[in-house]
Structure 1
Amino acid sequence: MARRIQPLTLDLLERLQQQDCPCRGCLTWALDPVHRARVGATAERREEAKDAWVSELLREWGSCGRVLVVDQVPLAAVLYAPPALVPGAGSVPTAPASPDAVLVTDIWVHPRHRRRGLGRVLVQATARDLVVRGGIRAVEAFAAAGPGAPACTAPVDFWLRTGFRTHRGHPVVPRVRMDLRSTVSWVEEVEAALERLVGVVRPGPVPAPEALVPAVRGDDGDQ
């Protein structure tokens, strides 16, 4: 079984659509509310706008995500960027994110493979990338703690179980933070984590759309 964590590319972003990944056309973080309304609700226009945002991130900042690919099938993904390049975050009650942090925006694990540690592997891969880059002190995310939380984020319990702490509390959208100095040991652990997934994660037929859980948040505290 071929297992790899790959840097996010536009090609991989498009392939996530085949797995019904809701992050594919999610513009919660990519655009502010006014520009999201102008794009409209059609899937094609939303995907075009998401592609344009990711393209800008790749040009202006470089690598902005990781995708877990098993036998050429993308099963999990995470996107992250400096807060200044995440215009949609400005409308969140616990904004702004700290200027010394990188902000995790979208995070997703295929519903058939949740509760198997893939979300933790994504967090480790993110930390590894940022530690290697240097000059970045922390990772932050807006977590889902109640009804009305933004789409394409994860439950607060997930973040707290993967090394984050509450940085600014809120009943619906708390902001969590992980100091990268505490993750140095993770830099060498990502490959070992993938090896532990042998025999646990196997791509299979994608369930019918009605059987898919629509987003990461809600019922999965340990992705």
Structure 2
Amino acid sequence: MSRRVVHLTLDHLAALDAPCRDCVFWQLDPVRRARVDLEGDAGEEKRAWLSAVLRDWGSCGRVVLVEGRPVGHVVYAPPALLPSADAFPTSPVSPDAVLLASAYVDPAHAGAGLGRLLVQAMARDLVERGGYRAVEAFGRVDGPGAAGRRGRQCLLPADFLGRVGFGTRRAHGGVPRMRMDLRSALTWRDEVEVALERLRGVVRPAPAPSPDARVPGTPRGVPGTEE
């Protein structure tokens, strides 16, 4: 089963079969969200937001394709581009960090490590981009009375964030702010892959001897020997 991670584009957004495809919780302030809820054009607002961010800031998401079909994604951006980032008791996001706003993997592909793959792709993008030291996210801790809080369905489970490398930056019983330092985002597997690539560049297979290769002094037709 082939899988690969690509940049989020408007075409990928349209093809995603995900509940957050048309959600604008992060992208709009409460006043504009209320208007959008009444007019029913959330999908168009989401596409307009993505188009503007791609133009002004650059890539702000990754999509994982399985057999060519998008089955999961992450969306991230500086908190200034995500108005709801200031709406939580553990706000604000640290000035050296990008905010991971949303992540989704099709339940049919749960347990295949696609969420971790997307988070690692996001980290690589931000390391290569430069200018940021970390990614932060508002985690969701479920408990009594938590279900009715607006926007909680748009938060990532705190236990998921912990599994993919985030630690608690500011504790809270319902909405902890969590952080992953980019310098430590690469996993052991990534480091092994880098080491193997370096070895491939240094250790090369010895060329096979030609049929005419022979040790000086041996009669023709007798194979030579390698040192």
Specify the code of the residue in structure 2 equivalent to 1:104: L
CA change 1:111–1:48 in 2 (3 A) is same
Percent identical among aligned pairs is 55
CA change 1:103–1:10 in 2 (3 A) is same
Q: Secondary structure at the match of 2:59?
A: coil
Match of 2:102 among 99, 106, 128: 106
- Is residue 2:34 matched to residue 1:32? no
Which residue does the alignment assign to 2:120?
124
- Using the TM superposition, give the Cα deviation of residue 171 of structure 1 relative to its aligned residue in structure 2, in angstroms: 1.4
Q: Secondary structure at the match of 1:25?
A: coil
Which residue does the alignment assign to 1:205?
none
The alignment's TM-score, normalised by the length of structure 2, stands at 0.77
Which residue does the alignment assign to 1:6?
6
Deviations 1:148-188 (A, max 9, x none): 35233321011111111111111111110011111245794
Contact map agreement 2:120 2:186 (CA 8 A) in 1: no
- Is residue 2:129 matched to residue 1:137? no
Which residue does the alignment assign to 1:77?
73
The separation in 1 between residues aligned to 2:123 and 2:51, in whole angstroms, is 22
Deviations 1:102-139 (A, max 9, x none): 00011001011112211111111111111111121000
Structure 2 spans left out of the alignment, 5+ residues: 195-227
Contact map agreement 2:140 2:156 (CA 8 A) in 1: yes
The alignment's TM-score, normalised by the length of structure 1, stands at 0.78
CA change 1:102–1:187 in 2 (3 A) is farther
- Using the TM superposition, give the Cα deviation of residue 82 of structure 1 relative to its aligned residue in structure 2, in angstroms: 0.5
Contact map agreement 1:107 1:154 (CA 8 A) in 2: yes
- Using the TM superposition, give the Cα deviation of residue 65 of structure 1 relative to its aligned residue in structure 2, in angstroms: 0.4
- Is residue 2:63 matched to residue 1:64? no
CA change 1:159–1:34 in 2 (3 A) is same
Contact map agreement 1:78 1:108 (CA 8 A) in 2: yes
The separation in 2 between residues aligned to 1:186 and 1:38, in whole angstroms, is 47
Q: CA RMSD in A?
A: 2.2
CA change 1:186–1:15 in 2 (3 A) is farther
Q: What are the equivalent positions in structure 2 for 1:89-100 lying under 5 Å apart?
A: 89-100=85-96
- Using the TM superposition, give the Cα deviation of residue 76 of structure 1 relative to its aligned residue in structure 2, in angstroms: 0.9
Aligned length: 188
Structure 1 spans left out of the alignment, 5+ residues: 193-223
